[in-house]
Amino acid sequence: MNEATNNQQSKKSFPSGEGFKKGLRLVILGGGESGVGTALLGKAKGYEVFVSDKGKIKDKYKDVLLNNEIEFEDEQHTESKILNADIIMKSPGIPDKVALIKQIREAGITVVSEIEFASKFTEATLVAITGSNGKTTTATLTHHLLHQDLDVGLAGNIGDSFAKQILEKNHDNYVLEISSFQLDDIINFKPKIAILTNITPDHLDRYDYKFENYIASKFRVVENQTEEDYFIYDADDEVILEYMKSHQIQSKKLPFSLTKVMEQGAYLDNNNIIITIDNNKITMPTKNLALEGKHNVKNAMAASTVAHLLKIRKQTIRESLENFQGVEHRLENVLKINKVQYINDSKATNVNATYFALESMDAPTVWIVGGVDKGNDYKELFPFVNEKVKAIICLGVDNAKLMDAFGKMVDVIIETEYMNEAVKIAYKLANAGDNVLLSPACASFDLFENYEDRGRQFKNAVRNL
């Protein structure tokens, strides 16, 4: 049984939001940013709160829990303290196949994500952004377009937790970057504006290796929307279009496209983005966009459509698009050494993200790739590897699949388990005018704490050359 199916069961056992009454026992699984934020909000709203983490809770989060007199445990899960919960907030990193989660489901205890829990305590306008790729850039850019004119928070997978911000600031608007894992545990969560940037195979290990389960999970972002709400999506994405043929969506549709003219939504015409909402049309030139690449034109379309919907001035949108600096670890130019450009794209944790990275390379490239393979199919990268990649450095514990896929395509393919060594090898292989690109196409957990750790180690290694 996949996670989305499990959640439909929990939805049935959760009538009228009754799990949000004061005095109930709220158990939080996971003592990270979202878990501790939820604990603080839960306590402030009158819940009996208990935090449990199978791993070690970071000292900075332990201090917060201690200072707020919130009971917690780490390096264990005490079942007797968990299975007596009225409601459980589960960290998105915990899969449903874990034995404890199965017990919780079988006991009929309602399981929610942070975004579900926190959204009960705000009247703010919610902009929810999901997709396999581009959601961090789109969310950060959307916030950048809105924050000059509106009181707006940025949360979800970015920055301070959504729950903590509601407790401390409670903005009038929130831009939320949301993963499929967070959507798996929603029940009544309903954004005013939902954005779906694209859908490509990712995290299939969490979805019984069935792409259709992952697709359904992404579309949960619109499942509670009504005709008063808005759905912004990529009309060039065949997976999205195919799903919409057989599934009714209640909200007003605002598609964006690089190739088709849109009566409502956004499209590209002679290097101008044209956005039309209810006969109100604005034009945005793309020639001075701060972010390069076709995928970033799409990100700009999605973000600008939100800004237009929320009545941001045209001049503000244009200026903000031109001065946006991008996101760390996403095609981030680090340094140029001996006329070789070093580029950090550590956030490319799937094949499609690396596709965009390789597509944007305009010089011979030494490509650093590898990590935890999530069921990747590398075929779509073959044309770019043949055309642009001069050498490959496989950075992972198990590189067999990469070696098999690319071993005959390049003259040089080398394995290593150390970032410093990978960068030193790249330094020797690259000539003036080349690029060195870290774009792993894989998760980072075999050798690194997370993709941020991987990206920072890359940047430090480059600076130490």
Q: Which helix (H) or strand (E) holds 336?
A: strand 332-337
Nearest residue to 391 via CA among 343, 341, 335, 430: 430
What CA–CA distance (Å, rounded) separates 247 from 299?
25
Give every CB contact of residue 424 below 8 A, 6+ residues apart in sequence. Answer: 461, 465
Contact in structure between 59 and 36 (CB atoms under 8 Å): no
Residue numbering of the annotated binding site for ATP: 131-137
Contact in structure between 425 and 332 (CB atoms under 8 Å): no
**Positions of E strands within 158-310:** 173-177, 193-196, 230-234, 252-257, 265-269, 272-277, 280-285
Q: Which helix (H) or strand (E) holds 63?
A: helix 59-67
What CA–CA distance (Å, rounded) separates 444 from 446?
6
Q: Tell me which long-range contacts 449-455 makes (C-beta under 8 A, separation of at least 24).
A: 451/329, 451/346, 451/347, 451/349, 452/328, 452/329, 452/346, 454/346, 454/371, 454/419, 455/328, 455/329, 455/332, 455/344, 455/346, 455/347
What CA–CA distance (Å, rounded) separates 435 from 416?
19
Residue numbering of the annotated binding site: 131-137
Q: In terms of DSSP H, where are the helices of 324-449? A: 351-359, 382-388, 400-406, 419-429
What CA–CA distance (Å, rounded) separates 165 from 44?
13
Q: Sheet of 389-395: strands edge to edge?
A: 332-337, 340-344, 435-438, 365-369, 389-395, 412-416
Q: Helix (H) and strand (E) counts for the chain?
A: 18, 20
